[in-house]
Every structure is written in C-alpha cells, then in structure tokens.
Amino acid sequence: MELEVEKFEQEFVRYFGTAGERVLAQCADKYVQLTAVSAADLAASIDHTLLNADATAAQVERLCAEAVQWSVATVCVNSVFAPLARDCLQNSAVGVCCVVGFPLGATATEAKAYETKWSVDHGADEIDMVISIGALKAGDLNSVVRDIQAVRAAMGTRTLKVILETALLTQREKVLGAWSCVLAGADFVKTSTGFASSGATVADVELLRNVVGTAAHIKAAGGIRTLDQALTFMEAGADRLGTSRTGTILAKR
C-alpha cells in the first residue's frame, strides 16, 4: 500500500507541480485515531439525511424536528428544501446541509455553482457536492479541481464536503481524488452518495484518512444503519456520518 501511495504522490506532483507538493505537505500530518466516542460526540457528528426523490415537505419538517430533538450536526436535504429546513431550524443549533450535483456529479460546473449559490442564499450552511466522477476517472484532474473551486467560490467560507463516490473508483482514483479535494479547498472528503452500488466501507474511510491526514475531515455515508457501524466508522477516522437511520443509532446510546 505504501509503495502504491508513493507512486500516486509522484503522479500528483507531476500533474500539479508545486501546488501538488504543497498539498502533499499539508496531508503529511497523520490523524490520531479516536479511542472512544461519547453519545454527545456521536450525535454531533451526524448529518440526519433525507434525499429520496419522493420526499415531501411534511417529511422534511419531521426530519428537522428529529434533528433538534437529537442535537445532530445538520439535516441533509435536496436544495429545493433549503428554505423549509432553514425556517424549521432557525431557533436551533442544527445546521442545514444541501446536496449539489446530486447524485451523479455529471452536471455542468456552472450549474453546480448556481445551485450552490441558490442553496446558501436560501439557508444552507453546508454543501455536499458530488465530484465530477467522469473527469476523475478520465484522469482530468484539472477539471475535477476547477469544478470544486467553482462551488467553493459560490459558497464562501461555509463548510464544503466533496463526495467521491468510492464504489465507482479504483484505489488510484480515490487517492488522487482525495488530494484534488484538498487542493481545491474542500473541508471534507466524503465517501458516497448512498445512491451507487454500495456506500461507505471501513477500508475506504481508513484509506482516505491515511491519504489526507489532518488536511481535511472525512465523512462516511451510505448504508450506515446501526450503532456498531457508526462507532466503527468513527474509530476508523470519520469525523461526520451521513445517515437516515439516526434514531436507530442514537436510541442505543
């Protein structure tokens, strides 16, 4: 694994030059794994999620009420529900997270930037964007970085999470994609949309954590349904979890 990553480092520097070297230097500080996660830490690390195509306003209202009850980090919703979630959560500490270019990532960069700006103008505190998966698989890292940078520019200093969709990527693509996220200014590298063939895996969280070190946070999402899974992902290096099963997970703490 170390030899493979070393080979990827050389490729990344050849591609981005001194900017690539700076990213690798940022990622050199290794993350110290958590030894225990408290109930409060776990709740505050969850994005309580509803991204179904058939989600209704009433369901989003219920999602927000649950989020306040459980003191989670955010509710994660499609951008059309940003105003409703903002209004439901305005007197709480729970944030609003909206997805952008979701779930395929195959959206024009300008469209992603517009959706981002609209979302933050209507209440989003955080954005989870899908990376340009096709560009990443084609090795066009410049397009990957420009796509992320356009979203970053549209949202200012709010929290940006970039979804790699690891189920569709090789190990090389995961590594180069994670470093590209750091170069472009992402706050989090996120594993999955939950809409691909599989979601987060412990192996992918460990890989991403080892690759980015302390230069970015890690969000695991997709298929996290139980307390044991949630704790395992946190112990593997995830800082945030995306799940629609928040009640089931927290009920056992």
pLDDT digits (tens, 9 = 90+) for 11-35: 999 999 999 999 999 999 988 877 7
- At residue 164, φ and ψ (nearest 5 deg) are -80, -30
Q: Which residues are catalytic?
A: 128, 190, 219
Domain 2-250 has CATH 3.20.20.70: yes
Q: What is the pLDDT of residue 230?
A: 96
122 has pLDDT over 90: yes
- What is the C-alpha to C-alpha distance for residues 118 and 172, in angstroms, rounded to an integer? 34
**Share above pLDDT 70 across residues of the chain, in percent, rounded to a whole number:** 97
User: What's the gap between Cα 50 and its chain centre?
Assistant: 15
247 has pLDDT over 60: yes
Q: Provide CB contacts within 8 A for 190, sequence distance 6+.
A: 128, 161, 162, 163, 164, 218, 219, 220, 221, 240, 242
73 has pLDDT over 90: yes
The gap between the terminal CA atoms of the chain, to the nearest Å, is 36
Residue pLDDT, tens place only, 132-151: 999 999 999 999 999 999 99
Domain ranges within the chain, ordered by starting residue: 2-250
User: Stretch 94-120: mean pLDDT, rounded?
Assistant: 98
User: Stretch 113-133: mean pLDDT, rounded?
Assistant: 98
With bands split at pLDDT 50, 70 and 90, how would you rate the model's confidence at 252?
low
Question: How many Cβ atoms sit within 10 Å of the Cβ of residue 82?
Answer: 21
- pTM for the full predicted model: 0.96
Q: What is the pLDDT of residue 1?
A: 53
Residue pLDDT, tens place only, 179-238: 999 999 999 999 999 999 999 999 999 999 999 999 999 999 999 999 999 999 999 999
Query: Among candidates 22, 9, 10, which has minimal Cα distance to 215?
Result: 22
